[in-house]
């Protein structure tokens, strides 16, 4: 994820409006929920629920969509359950290049979201500048195991088709979207511990009648490079990358359109206890809007997990705040969806 210096105020009417830095969410910006993922041989756990599946609660009659919530109502167990579900669809990408024909050590290059369309077209949705690092003779390393397990899962780059959905014109506004296909023979291993988010069920609603930005909770999920480290192996590898996949909760403080693409900016507090000095490595990760309901007993429950954006850029800190810039719903469900669906036709 790139950082740029402040530029003169734009005079283009399509530039984003100033961010409203008020309290737009019931939880503080930059609150972090982590999930450890040490590169490991995949375990054969029961397949996780798909990230796009609606919960049983959506069919209850005596429930109410939640638009306003006090932070005290969001229990640690609730937030952990939500982010665990999001982590099922989140991966960290590594580049394993070859130099003069010799394999090199893995290098973390960014994050991605496992997606599919109508149960097919499986692959990794990420930022173009992340996928563009991979050479044709590289191998793509993915974190696909259960928490805490060491593994070395890779896909040869030549077996994965790179779909350049939006090639960046600038760092600040991209557009910056790519898709790496996952060949069918690798799916059973990945799906033993991960899940692919199906874009099709939510396409129409997110394009035509998306929920307001203020509804639910927003999360940006991925693996910041800052908190990765090389550690000794416990099972015989020379050394392994210790990866922490994080979901950052905060306000979707602004939405705007520039050219053919739309954008959502997620606000973080630079001085917050859980904030990072840089979010490099989060690029390519998913931006999620999780809608909530209040059950008949009064408890708060998640009802829909909406993949609503893709992180690709971080702004400079201004007035103690930083924004994670993301491509929005139209970029994903119109441009990316059409490109991926056409590839699989």
Task: Tell me if residue 181 falls in helix, strand or coil.
Answer: strand
Mean pLDDT of 18-46: 33
Exposed/middle/buried for 258, CB within 10 Å: 0-12, 13-18, 19+? middle
Decide the pairing of beta strands 286-294 and 261-269.
unpaired
Q: State how far the Cα of 46 lies from the Cα of 285, in Å rounded to an integer.
A: 24
Single pTM value for the model: 0.82
Please give the structure tokens belonging to residue 84: 């665990």
Q: State how far the Cα of 140 lies from the Cα of 107, in Å rounded to an integer.
A: 10
Residue 44, pLDDT above cutoff 90: no
Radius of gyration of the chain (CA): 19
Q: What is the pLDDT of residue 317?
A: 87
* The residue to which tokens 């609660």 are assigned: 57
Mean pLDDT of 80-100: 90
Bridge partners of 241? 230
Mean pLDDT of 310-332: 92
Q: State how far the Cα of 218 lies from the Cα of 213, in Å rounded to an integer.
A: 9
Decide the pairing of beta strands 321-327 and 300-314.
antiparallel
Length of the chain: 345
Q: What is the pLDDT of residue 41?
A: 24
Q: What is the mean pLDDT of the chain?
A: 80
Q: What tens digit of pLDDT does each residue of 200-221 get?
A: 999 999 999 999 998 989 999 9
C-alpha triplet 293, 296, 302: angle, nearest 5°: 25
Q: State how far the Cα of 236 lies from the Cα of 256, in Å rounded to an integer.
A: 50
Decide the pairing of beta strands 240-249 and 177-181.
unpaired
Residue 331, pLDDT above cutoff 60: yes
Residue 101, pLDDT above cutoff 90: no
| Domain boundary assignment for the chain | 31-344
């Amino acid at each position: 994820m790139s950082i740029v210096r402040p530029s003169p105020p734009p005079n283009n009417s399509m530039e984003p409006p100033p961010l409203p830095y008020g309290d737009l969410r019931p939880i503080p910006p930059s609150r972090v929920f982590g999930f450890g993922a040490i590169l490991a041989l995949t375990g054969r756990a029961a397949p996780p629920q798909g990230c796009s599946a609606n919960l049983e609660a959506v069919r209850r009659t005596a429930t109410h969509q939640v638009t306003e919530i006090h932070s005290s109502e969001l229990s640690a167990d609730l937030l952990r359950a939500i982010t665990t579900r999001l982590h099922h669809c989140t991966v960290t990408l590594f580049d394993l290049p070859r130099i003069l024909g010799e394999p090199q050590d893995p290098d973390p290059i960014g994050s991605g979201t496992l997606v599919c369309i109508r149960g097919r077209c499986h692959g990794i949705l990420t930022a173009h500048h992340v996928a563009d690092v991979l050479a044709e003779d590289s191998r793509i390393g993915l974190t696909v195991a259960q928490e805490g397990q060491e593994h070395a899962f890779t896909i040869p780059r030549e077996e994965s088709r790179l779909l350049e959905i939006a090639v960046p014109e600038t760092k600040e506004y991209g557009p910056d979207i790519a898709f790496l296909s996952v060949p069918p023979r690798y799916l059973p291993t990945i799906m033993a511990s991960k899940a692919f988010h199906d874009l099709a069920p939510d396409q129409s609603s997110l394009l035509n009648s998306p929920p307001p930005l203020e509804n639910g909770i927003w999360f940006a999920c991925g693996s910041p490079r800052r908190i990765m480290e090389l550690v000794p192996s416990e099972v015989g590898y020379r050394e392994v990358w210790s990866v922490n996949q994080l979901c950052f909760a905060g306000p979707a403080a602004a939405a705007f359109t520039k050219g053919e693409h739309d954008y959502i900016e997620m606000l973080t507090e630079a001085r917050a206890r859980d904030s990072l000095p840089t979010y490099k490595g989060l690029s390519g990760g998913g931006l999620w809007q999780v809608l909530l309901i209040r059950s008949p007993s009064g408890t708060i429950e998640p009802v829909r997990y909406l993949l609503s954006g893709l992180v690709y850029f971080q702004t400079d800190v201004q007035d103690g705040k930083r924004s994670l810039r993301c491509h929005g719903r139209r970029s994903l469900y119109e441009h990316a969806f059409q490109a991926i669906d056409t590839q699989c036709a």
